[in-house]
Amino acid sequence: MSPRLIRLGVGACIMHRDPLRAIFKGKALLYVEQELTEYAMRHGALVFLIPVPDVDHPLAPSYDDYIDQIDGLLLQGGADVAPSSYGEEAMRPEWGGDAVRDAYEIELIKRCLKRGKPILGACRGIQILNVALGGTLYQDISTQVDGSLVHRDWEIYDQNVHEVALRPGNWLTELYPGQATARVNTVHHQAIKDVAPGLEVCAVSTADGIVEGVLLDDGDRFAVAVQWHPEWTEAGPVGLLSAEPLMQAFLDKVRERMESPR
């Protein structure tokens, strides 16, 4: 019998209630960016969006009920992480972020790690993983990091690229043997400031030192996250770091945990 397909839950982006929105007026929406799901599905994984659990209703499934049904977790991009989620006040109102989504994803992260379910994050995913584990963020790179690159350019969006240095000797960078540097896309204005305890930095921007990849691998817990969007690599400029080894190796790790639960 063939092994069953890996089931990945994905943390939802949230479009909050807006009485002026033309579509689903006044309703809250949960969604996932399509290329992320395609990225996992072309490696044979099933992808399910995890709704925000209704903790106030006694019959509603809990966080753990959802986590029971998945083998691993994907953390996607989207709204800013709220400074209040890591003990700061917003330097500008437009950087206030989404504390509701933060609380939801932090619950998913902590419960998945406690249960030994591997996590893969991209863009916001690396930031919320860092915050969930006790780290902090730059609210705005260009404001807080002298000499920084333009990491988010709205006009060219995912066509904006820069170089990262891959630090040797860890799970992430060993996926690209013999490659000390690589080009990746960049669509973010926040980034890791203080690295959370237990996270290993695997990649940094060569021009300004911004953290671009982190790993948690302590035997019981496994999480890997990158600041770029690997799911957008195929549509990006020629010469970007291949996204396929990352997803395939992550799914191999998930399968390993499924076959040898801890």
Those residues with Cβ within 8 angstroms of residue 207's Cβ, 6 or more apart along the chain or in another chain: 148, 149, 162, 163
Closest to 253 in 3D by CA, of 196, 213, 212, 215: 215
Q: Where are the beta strands (DSSP E) in the chain?
A: 7-11, 13-15, 29-31, 46-50, 72-75, 119-122, 137-138, 161-166, 181-185, 191-192, 200-205, 211-217, 222-226
Question: Is 123 an active-site residue?
Answer: yes
Cα-only R_g, the chain: 18
Question: Is 112 an active-site residue?
Answer: no
Question: Is 229 an active-site residue?
Answer: yes
For tokens 């033309």, what's the residue? Answer: 22
Which sign does the torsion angle of CA 22, 24, 26, 27 carry?
negative
Compute how many other C-beta atoms are within 10 angstroms of the C-beta atom of residue 8. Answer: 27
Cα 143 to Cα 11, 96, 101, distances in angstroms: 29, 15, 24
Closest to 212 in 3D by CA, of 159, 149, 256, 144: 149
105, 107, 212, 231: the active-site residue: 231
123, 151, 202, 212: the active-site residue: 123
Closest to 11 in 3D by CA, of 116, 120, 138, 85: 120
For tokens 């379910």, what's the residue? Answer: 117
The Cα–Cα gap between 92 and 97 comes to: 10
Overall size of the chain counted in residues:
262
- Catalytic residue numbers read 123, 229, 231
